[in-house]
Amino acid sequence: MPKKTIGIGFGTWAWGNKLVWGYKAGTDDILLKKTFFEAINGGLDLVDSADSYGTGSLFGQSEKLIGDFLEELPKRKLKKITIATKLAPFPWRIGRNGLNKAFQQSNQRLKGNMTRVQLHWSTYRYAPWQEEQLLNGLGDLYEKGLIKEIGLSNTGPKRLNFLFQNLKKRGIKISSIQMQLSLLTKPSLEDENIKNICEENEIEYLAYSPLGLGILTVPPDKHPEPKTFLRQKLFQRILPKTVELRTLLTNIAKKYSVSQAQVALNWIRSHGAKPIVGIRNPFQAKDAISALNWSLTKSEKQNLDFCRKECLANMPQNPFTSP
């Protein structure tokens, strides 16, 4: 079972050993601030964001808000927090220095509190040379002492191992990797291979979308109507085919007098990963933190594993994930 530590991220809350949270444009900033400090005061210690969280005029807004919030934290608390952000490998960010400007801008928005820089997605499927050059560029920033840690996102096991070995030759370690993982992602050999690589090399395995965009929090007898068109279509496709899985989540939740969300998050923890879950208010922050007070039994984990394997509907796979 993962250690009982937590972190916080802006774009989505991530957690497992760590808990993280994130920003959605248009969300009440005052409410976000209350949620942020609820999480920090509850013991969360990893903040995850991205320069692309916030579009158009709000580009980088997630990082800006985090930077503002961090200024109000006592130094003793700030020292205990890992501030992580993800830089997007846009097509125009090319060459070994392709992320330098983006790094400087993110670091400025975060008020110089950046600890870990992560490559937001893999470019292997359309420009494999770009990914390697950008990562080596982050390695240069690391060697200059400008970055303390480097992480990856949406990188399959073969590419993860290649990039890990590439940086290892320079004496640089990959600290974490983010992958989509939940009871609604299709089980695969790649999942197990990534998990094994992480365990062997002490890489943090961060799982984003652990609640399946909220589907796993829906009781089996409910049929909510999301506000966005894409989410409506997703719910219409997946909800009818996940009744058995969500019934099991409900039954386990009733046993411990907790929420379905806590059960889904603890399933992630039972697999040695750290969920990154979206939190929008202090109540959700408290609920996620409370999930760290209990754990699934071996039989409960196995039952959930079986339901996941037999599930008739899955979340869409990220198209940028490399092999």
Contact yes or no for 81/8 (Cβ under 8 A): yes
Tell me, what's the pLDDT at 244? Answer: 97
Summarised one tens digit per residue, pLDDT across range 204-226 is 999 999 999 999 999 999 999 88
Q: Is residue 3 domain-resident?
A: no
In the chain, the amino acid numbered 229 is F
Q: Is residue 33 domain-resident?
A: yes
Strand intervals (E) in 5-148: 13-15, 20-21, 46-50, 82-87, 116-119
Name the least confident of 42-56, 129-143, 258-272: 42-56
Tell me, what's the pLDDT at 29? Answer: 76
Paired tokens of 26 = 């248009």
Contact yes or no for 18/43 (Cβ under 8 A): no
Q: Is residue 315 domain-resident?
A: no
In the chain, the amino acid numbered 154 is N
Summarised one tens digit per residue, pLDDT across range 259-298 is 999 999 999 999 999 888 778 889 999 998 999 899 999 9
CATH code, 204: 3.20.20.100
Residue 15 pLDDT > 60: no
Strand intervals (E) in 16-155: 20-21, 46-50, 82-87, 116-119, 149-153
Tell me, what's the pLDDT at 46? Answer: 83
126 part of the active site: no
Tell me, what's the pLDDT at 230? Answer: 87
Tell me, what's the pLDDT at 57? Answer: 57
Q: Is residue 256 domain-resident?
A: no
Tell me, what's the pLDDT at 153? Answer: 97
Q: Which residues contact 216 (CB under 8 A, 6 or more apart)?
A: 182, 183, 184, 210, 245, 246, 249, 260, 261, 264
User: Which residue's entry shows tokens 């929008």?
Assistant: 280
Q: Is residue 176 domain-resident?
A: yes
Paired tokens of 130 = 């770009």
Summarised one tens digit per residue, pLDDT across range 75-102 is 888 888 889 999 999 999 999 999 999 9
Q: Is residue 4 domain-resident?
A: no
In which band, very low, low, confident or very high, does the pLDDT at 2 lie, cut at 50, 70 and 90?
very low
Which residue in the list 23, 53, 205, 208 is annotated as catalytic?
53
Summarised one tens digit per residue, pLDDT across range 105-126 is 999 999 999 999 999 999 999 9
Looking at the structure of the chain, the number of domains it has is 1
Closest CA to 89 of 102, 73, 108, 70: 102
Q: Is residue 246 domain-resident?
A: no
In which band, very low, low, confident or very high, does the pLDDT at 11 lie, cut at 50, 70 and 90?
low
Q: Which domain holds residue 124?
A: 13-214+271-295
In which band, very low, low, confident or very high, does the pLDDT at 58 lie, cut at 50, 70 and 90?
low
3-class DSSP state for residue 295? coil
CB-side neighbour CA atoms (13 Å) of 120:
17
> What is the C-alpha separation between 150 and 269, in angstroms, rounded?
22
